[in-house]
């Protein structure tokens, strides 16, 4: 059974949107990816409405089980942080209206999950997302790749691959003892 995650890299100028299906063995497949953009000259309410309508359309069309959004973090440019936070709020409300759970992940968390290095640059994230999803061409712009990385990160951190590890262990596959312990703990938690 696949786990469908929608990733959102929020922003007023470019808001990355991506949907990924993740199998129990962690195999990740691209469903859709894109960017909704708004012009800086438009009013804030118009810009947020464009983002909201795009996210609504994606949520209704792709029906993800969860929405993974990049956590807003402090930057030196307060106006950029405010715009990102406002776009995030619109996205989160769209999911909440549908009863879709929302998970927030920091940029460092996403980079570490996808590349193994929390300080990786955008090129490294894009390269690994392209490899993980078995894509012929890299997703562009970087906001699209970041949205894909968010979706993948959420599924992997949730333990989707560990369910596959538990199944592999039962069928005689090779898993580490740490993977086995984690999978068993997760299974116990689900039963409660």
pLDDT in tens, 87-121: 999 999 999 999 999 999 999 999 999 999 889 99
Going by their DSSP bridges, the two strands 3-9 and 14-22 should be labelled as antiparallel
Which token pair is 80? 């950029």
What pTM was computed for the model?
0.81
State yes or no: is 70 an active-site residue: yes
Which residue among the candidates 63, 70, 121, 184 is catalytic per the annotation?
A: 70
State yes or no: is 136 an active-site residue: no
Which token pair is 189? 């938690």
* Residue tagged 């980079």 (tokens): 111
Which residue among the candidates 143, 146, 184, 186 is catalytic per the annotation?
A: 143
Distances (CA, A) of 43 to 48, 49, 86: 9, 10, 13
pLDDT at 191: 57
User: Over the stretch 51-88, which tens digit does the pLDDT of each residue have?
Assistant: 999 999 999 999 999 999 999 876 666 767 888 899 99
SS3 125: helix
Q: Are 24 and 164 in contact (CB under 8 A)?
A: yes
SS3 169: helix
Which residues have C-beta within 8 Å of that of residue 103, sequence separation ≥ 6?
66, 67, 68, 69, 154, 158
């Amino acid at each position: 059974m696949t786990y469908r995650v929608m990733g959102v890299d929020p922003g007023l100028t470019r808001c990355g949107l991506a949907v990924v299906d993740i199998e129990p063995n962690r195999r990740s497949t691209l469903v859709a990816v894109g960017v909704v953009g708004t012009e800086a000259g438009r009013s804030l309410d118009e810009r947020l409405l464009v983002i909201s309508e795009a996210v609504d359309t994606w949520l209704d069309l792709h029906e993800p089980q969860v929405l993974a959004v990049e956590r807003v973090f402090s930057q030196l440019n307060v106006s950029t942080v405010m715009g990102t936070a406002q776009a995030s709020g619109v996205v989160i409300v769209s999911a909440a209206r549908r009863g879709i759970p929302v998970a927030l992940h920091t940029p460092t968390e996403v980079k570490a999950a996808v590349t193994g290095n929390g300080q990786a640059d955008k090129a490294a994230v894009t390269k690994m997302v392209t490899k993980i999803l078995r894509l012929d061409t890299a997703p562009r712009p970087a906001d699209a790749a970041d949205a894909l990385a968010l979706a993948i990160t959420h599924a992997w951190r949730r333990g989707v691959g560990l369910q596959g590890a538990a199944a592999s262990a039962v069928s005689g596959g090779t898993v580490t003892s740490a993977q086995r312990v984690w999978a068993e703990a997760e299974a116990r938690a689900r039963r409660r």
